[in-house]
Amino acid sequence: MAERRDVVIIGAGAAGMMCAIEAGRRGRRVLVLDHAKAPGEKIRISGGGRCNFTNIHAGPKNFLSANPHFAKSALARYTPRDFLDLVERHRIAWHEKTLGQLFCDNSAKDIIAMLLAEMRAAGVELRLSTAIGDIAHDGTSFRISTEQGAIEAASLVVATGGKSIPKMGATGFAYRVAEQFGLPVVETRAGLVPLMLDPATLAAHEGLPGVAVDVAACHGKTEFREAALFTHRGLSGPAILQISSYWREGEEIGLHIRPDLEFAAIIAAARRQNGRQAVQTVLAEHIPKKLAQLVATDLGIDGPLAELSGKRIDALVQRLRDWRFRPPASEGYRTAEVTLGGVDTAALDSRSMAAKAVPGLYFIGEAVDVTGWLGGYNFQWAWASGHAAGQEA
Ligand code: FDA
């Protein structure tokens, strides 16, 4: 005899736990299954251990999806303010770091404890270390096989996230379930991920790893103004992670170094003031010294400012305005914060996350083809999509 529940949720991550709370509050008998030993492992490691749990500016424009309108309904019905109210009800101290990003003062574990407390209050049962086997559907209910026996439920919510960080148990399980039920899956790829550089470029950048600078990272018309970081493998830092989600293998990105400054005017003024100084010295007042040296050396610029031709200075200014890189690859799922693509939103109802063709089947969170920018947006999608499904499942 199989156990029976109203709702089975696979995945005790951000989206699955939020969905469980909402469904439990409606009086549904909810069971959450996860193969991991602990719930919310990605919450625990997020935001450097302090969890950037939402972004007060989160709106549909901060998300990538084949259908940019899909996320609107869920995001509008569960807002950053709604999540913040929950955080404040649990007396979790928080602060805004930058660009609307909200973090815990103390620890990401506070968010996990809050979600577990809400789940308990809503009568939700959580079963960890549970490997999921086959899923069958007879038209009215789902039968989920596990090592400990089968469970039957009228609603099945798939909240198993994407493929990023396989070391933490990310599996691509949701895509297999979608395929089993005939739902299309938008091609997946690593997002919010460091970009690699080829060995020749890395060799030419010797000395740069560890150097960070404010940039505008550009890909086509998309631009992010944040810090970039040179690493031993290539490029990282928030601006690079942001642009990586728009970039595809083999394409170029451009870096505008210190977009807040007019280097042409700075160099002209320095030249008038003291033509004997080297351009590196002038640049090093505004950007890290190692970077200033590399840019000058790379363009074969040496000697006093007064002796530099206008053409050379133009080349230097142009390099700082649009430094082009063609990364051969990203670091991939091993270090990616998110997975782009996923269950095709065309197959889902935007109000409830239900599969249009399979009554009772829901996909939420990162498993769906909705991916946020860096900065708390991905958790906001997890909360909002989990909340949406939890109101119907
Ligand atoms: P999530 O991946 O959280 O949960 C999926 C759950 O399903 C896991 O518990 C997993 O064990 C389980 N599971 C998977 N396969 C299974 C299977 N086959 N059987 C049973 N269970 C299975 N976002 C943000 O907004 N702010 C931030 O600060 C950060 N920081 C951050 C840091 C790092 C290092 C990473 C990798 C990611 C972030 N993110 C982030 C992104 C954020 O963590 C991510 O978008 C959400 O956790 C997605 O929530 P989900 O619930 O959809 O999946």
Pairing of strands 142-146, 149-158: antiparallel
pLDDT digits (tens, 9 = 90+) for 97-123: 999 999 999 999 999 999 999 999 999
Pocket lining: 18 vs ligand 1, CB cutoff 6 Å: no
173 CB within 6 A, ligand 1? yes
**Please, which pLDDT band fits residue 149 given cuts at 50, 70 and 90?**
very high
Distance 43 CA to ligand 1 centre (A): 7
Cα 193–Cα 194–Cα 197 angle in degrees, nearest 5:
140
Q: Measured between alpha carbons, how far is residue 326 from residues 172, 199, 200, 234, 249 in Å? A: 29, 12, 12, 11, 9
Is 37's pLDDT higher than 90?
yes
Q: How far apart are CA 364 and CA 369, in angstroms?
A: 10
Name which residue sits closest to atom 21 of ligand 1, judged by CA. Answer: 34
Least confident window among 86-95, 295-304, 331-340: 295-304
pLDDT band at 23 (very low <50, low <70, confident <90, very high): very high
Cα 142 to chain centroid, rounded: 31
In this structure, what are the phi and psi dihedrals at residue 233, rounded to the nearest 5 degrees? -100, -25
Residue-level pLDDT at 122: 98
Question: How far, in Å, from the CA of 320 to the mean position of ligand 1?
Answer: 37
Using the structure block, give the residue that is written with the tokens 């039920």: 181
User: Quick one: average pLDDT of 294-303?
Assistant: 92
pLDDT at residue 333, rounded to an integer: 97
pLDDT of 2 reads 86
Structure tokens at 76: 């509008």
Greater pLDDT, 207 or 179? 179
Q: Is the CB of 15 under 6 A from ligand 1?
A: yes
pLDDT tens digit sequence for 357-390: 999 999 999 999 999 999 999 999 999 999 999 9
What local confidence, expressed as pLDDT, does residue 1 receive? 77
pLDDT for the residue numbered 360: 98
CA 185/CA 160 separation, integer angstroms: 15
Ligand 1 close to Cβ of residue 386 (< 6 A): no
User: 26: burial class by Cβ within 10 Å (0-12, 13-18, 19+)?
Assistant: middle
| pLDDT score at 169 | 83
- The pLDDT value recorded for residue 21 is 98
Cβ–ligand 1 contact at 337 (below 6 Å): yes
Mean pLDDT value of segment 6-16? 98
Query: Does the structure show a pLDDT above 90 at 36?
Result: yes
Does the C-beta of 165 come closer than 6 Å to ligand 1? yes
Please compute the mean of the pLDDT values over residues 298-303 and round it to a whole number: 90
Q: What ranges in 234-288 are assigned the alpha helix state H? A: 238-244, 263-273, 279-283
Which DSSP symbol is given to 347? G
- Ligand 1 atom closest to the CA of 17, numbered from 1: 51
Going by alpha carbons, the residue nearest to atom 32 of ligand 1 is 46
Question: Does 11 sit in the ligand 1 pocket, CB within 6 Å?
Answer: yes
Q: What per-residue confidence (pLDDT) applies to 303? A: 86
Q: If you average pLDDT over residues 222-247, what whole number do you get?
A: 98
The answer to whether the CB of 171 falls within 8 A of the CB of 49 is no
Q: How far apart are CA 308 and CA 311, in angstroms?
A: 8
What residues does 103 pair with on adjacent strands? 52, 95
Average pLDDT for residues 182-197, to the nearest whole number? Answer: 98
- Give 338-354 pLDDT, tens digit per residue: 999 999 999 999 999 99
* d(CA 201, ligand 1 centre) in Å: 34
Is residue 262 predicted with pLDDT exceeding 90? yes
Q: What is the pLDDT of residue 76?
A: 98
ipTM score for this prediction: 0.99
* 222-230 sheet: strands from edge to edge: 195-196, 234-236, 222-230, 212-219, 253-257, 323-325
Does residue 270 surpass a pLDDT of 90? yes
d(CA 19, ligand 1 centre) in Å: 14
Band (pLDDT 50/70/90 cuts) for residue 3 is very high
Strands 361-363 and 222-230, sheet pairing: unpaired
Beta bridge partners, 94, equal 104
CA neighbor of 103 nearest in space, from 82, 86, 87: 87
**Average pLDDT, whole number, for the chain?**
97
Residues in the chain: 393
Cβ of 12 below 6 Å from ligand 1: yes
Rounded to an integer, the average pLDDT of 192-204 is 96
Q: How many angstroms does the Cα of residue 228 sit away from the middle of ligand 1?
A: 25
pLDDT more than 90, % of the chain:
96
